[in-house]
Structure 1
Amino acid sequence: MTTFNIAGLQLALTANQDNFAIIRQQVLAAKRRFPALDMVLLPELCTFGPAPRFAETLPGNTENKYCELAIEAGIWLCNGSMFERDGDHIYNTSSVIAPNGKVHCRYRKVYPFLPYEEGISAGNEFKVFDIPGVGRFGLSICYDMWFPESIRALVWQGAEVILHPTLTNTVDRNIELAMARANACMNQCYMVDINSAAGLGVGQSVVAGPGGEVVHQAGDQQEIIVLQLDLAYLRRVRQQGWHTLGQPLKSFRDTAVVFPQYQQQRSTYLDQLGKLEKPAGRNWTSETF
């Protein structure tokens, strides 16, 4: 099989409440409308919104409900992410569930959105997984994409499709669209970047192909994005270049350069930037004006 049918659900959801019933309804509706659907990808933290108080140990009740949903729909299902409690730590964790209801892979976000995503611990593994007869997929969550090393780490392990749930409701969403395309072309992969619509996010989900081309760009309203990914096309791009042009993965593989920033040492320049903390406001006093 060289094609794979995936739906990204850019849903209008509400923060600080349980959205699972709405999500379930939309997943089942997508499968009924598109019977050939192989996978559904949900946005980051879509079930409860960005509220760590809803954190659960995994496996747990909410993940189990997603497992039942995957069986009911007969699809691969990525729940976007949810907060996972593990001892004294809380992680932003994505689960991928097979059509038989088994958790196939879990990934803990390596780069929490600090200093704003307070109290969330960082994962330390980049996760890829195989879908038999299709190809290799990698997991990335929101702010991870701002660090090109993270996507490269997945592709270095053979990932062809990057599942990238996100939750963005800020003015930098347009910049993320550029990064999604850049990561796709630099790594000759599909980037499936799915955001929530208004309520939680600002929408504008994007799917980019292995040449950095826009396969689909959503607006800001709720949208069910159903696409057929062509893995044979992707492999041809990696072997021959996009339109027979650059072959960056081969050049990266063959270079003799040892990148100094990846060695176990700190940058004296970066140390001068100060602490990772929220910018302070001006100290307005009556003497100022």
Structure 2
Amino acid sequence: MTTFTLAGLQLALTPGTDNFPLIREQVLATKRRYPNLDMILLPELCTFGPAPRFAEPLPGPAEQRYGQLAIEAGIWLCNGSLFERDGDQIYNTSSVLAPDGSVHCRYRKLYPFLPYEVGVSAGTEFTVFDIPDVGRFGLSICYDMWFPESIRALVWQGAEVILHPTLTNTIDRNVELAIARTNACTNQCYLIDINAAGTMGVGQSIIAGPGGEVIHQASVHHEAIVVELDLAYLRRTRQQGWHSLGQPLKSFRDHPLPFPQYQPGARSEALDQLGALEKPAGRNWTHGTF
């Protein structure tokens, strides 16, 4: 089997409340309309919004609801992410549920959106997983994509499809579209970037192919994005180049250069001069002259 039908649900959600009833309704409606559907991907933190107060240990009640939903719909389901409490730490964690409701794997976001996503710890492990007779998938969350090493590491481990739940409501969304396409073409992978809409996000989800081509770019409103991924096409692109052009994964594999920035103990004088990772300071107008 070389094709796989996936839906990204760009849902209009409300932060700070339990969105699961709406999510369940939309997942089941999408499966009814597209009975050939294999997987659904949801936006980052879609269940409760960006509110760490809803963090719970995993496994936990919120994740278990998604397991039941995967059984009910008969699909692979990525819940976007939930805030996970592990002792004194909180992580932004994505779960993949198999059609039998089991937790197939979890992934903790490597790069919290600092200095703004305060109090959320960074994950330390990459996550790839196999779907039998289909291919290998990798997990990435929102700001992770801004660090190209993270996507390359997943592809290095064999990932062909990157599931990338996102929660963006800021002016830089158009930049993220370019980053998504760039990561797709430089790594010759499918990149499925699904954002929220409504009061939680600005939408504009994007699905990019292994040549960086736009398979679909969504509007800013509610949208169910259903695409058929062709893994044979992807593998041919990796072997022969997109339209018989560049073969970057082979060149990366074969080049002997040891990148200096990744050597143990490496430091950058230029980057060290940037100062602390903190929010920009505002002007002090208290003693100003008007």
Regarding TM over 0.5, the answer is yes
Counterpart code for 2:280: P
Counterpart code for 1:18: D
SS at match of 1:280: coil
* TM-score (norm: length of structure 2): 0.99
Alignment of 1:125-144 (within 5 A): 125-144=125-144
Q: How many residues align?
A: 289
Counterpart code for 1:220: V
**Could you list the runs of 4 or more consecutive aligned residues of structure 1 that deviate by over 4 angstroms after TM superposition?**
none
Matched, 1:44 2:30: no
Q: Distance in 1 between matches of 2:201 and 2:122?
A: 22
Alignment of 1:150-161 (within 5 A): 150-161=150-161
Q: Distance in 1 between matches of 2:92 and 2:21?
A: 21
**Residue in 1 aligned with 2:267?**
266
Alignment of 1:50-129 (within 5 A): 50-129=50-129
Counterpart code for 1:261: Q
Counterpart code for 2:137: F
Q: Deviations over 1:59-87 (max 9, x none)?
A: 00000000000000000000000100000
C-alpha deviation, 1:287, in angstroms: 3.1
**Residue in 2 aligned with 1:275?**
276
SS at match of 1:285: coil
C-alpha deviation, 1:137, in angstroms: 0.1
Instruction: Structure 1: state its 5+ residue gaps.
Output: none
C-alpha deviation, 1:267, in angstroms: 1.2
**Residue in 2 aligned with 1:245?**
245
CA RMSD of aligned residues (A): 0.6
**Residue in 1 aligned with 2:168?**
168
SS at match of 1:224: strand
Task: Report the identity percentage.
Answer: 78
* TM-score (norm: length of structure 1): 0.99
Alignment of 1:203-242 (within 5 A): 203-242=203-242
Counterpart code for 2:109: K
C-alpha deviation, 1:286, in angstroms: 4.9
Q: Distance in 2 between matches of 1:180 and 1:288?
A: 46
Instruction: Structure 2: state its 5+ residue gaps.
Output: none
Q: Distance in 2 between matches of 1:192 and 1:280?
A: 35
